[in-house]
Amino acid sequence: MAKHNFQLTTADRDQLTVLLHKGVLPAKTFKRATALLELDRGRSRSETARTLNMSYPTITLWIKAYGERGLEMLADQPRSGRPNVIDGLQRARITALACSEPPEGHSRWSLRLLADKAVELDLVSGISHNHVGQILKKTISNPT
């Protein structure tokens, strides 16, 4: 297989070196930065893939991404999907509501009661009981 020449710019090489010497990086960023530096030092794609315990196609994708976006390829691109509709303040208010006294006639809050009350109090324009459960699951509160 023909050896692919890969060259970083001097500025990019310096920036990656500084980044790696900081010590605290997400694993993805660390692997991508290390791969680029290894390739720049003349190592082959397959050697780099073995060293980082990655696949050859992944290394190839990173090279392509570097060519297209430069060092911006170190971070993940935004993913598709529906954006969050409920912000942090609304989540906090729903959590606070769950910690309050339940309505009269109920011994404790149910997810459906919380969802209905949140809409009634105009904390949110609409929310399902499942979404309320997801919000409360991310807190460290214990309902019992």
Q: Give residue-wise pLDDT tens across range 99-116.
A: 999 999 999 999 999 999
Residue 132 contacts residue 111 (beta carbons within 8 Å):
yes
Per-residue pLDDT, 1: 46
Query: pLDDT of 36-58, one tens digit each?
Result: 999 999 999 999 999 999 999 99
Residue 142 reports pLDDT greater than 80: no
Query: Do the Cβ atoms of 45 and 63 come closer than 8 Å?
Result: yes
Q: Is 6 exposed, middle or buried (0-12, 13-18, 19+ CB in 10 A)?
A: buried
Average pLDDT over residues 120-130: 93
Give the predicted TM-score (pTM) of the model.
Answer: 0.58
Band the pLDDT of 143: cuts 50, 70, 90: low
* pLDDT, averaged across the chain: 89
In the predicted model, is pLDDT for residue 78 greater than 90?
A: no
Please state the separation of Cα 74 from the chain's center in Å: 13
The stretch 26-44 carries a mean pLDDT of: 93
Q: Which residue has the higher pLDDT, 1 or 83?
A: 83
Q: Summarize the confidence of residues 67-86 as an average pLDDT.
A: 88
Q: CA 80, CA 78: separation in Å to the nearest integer?
A: 7
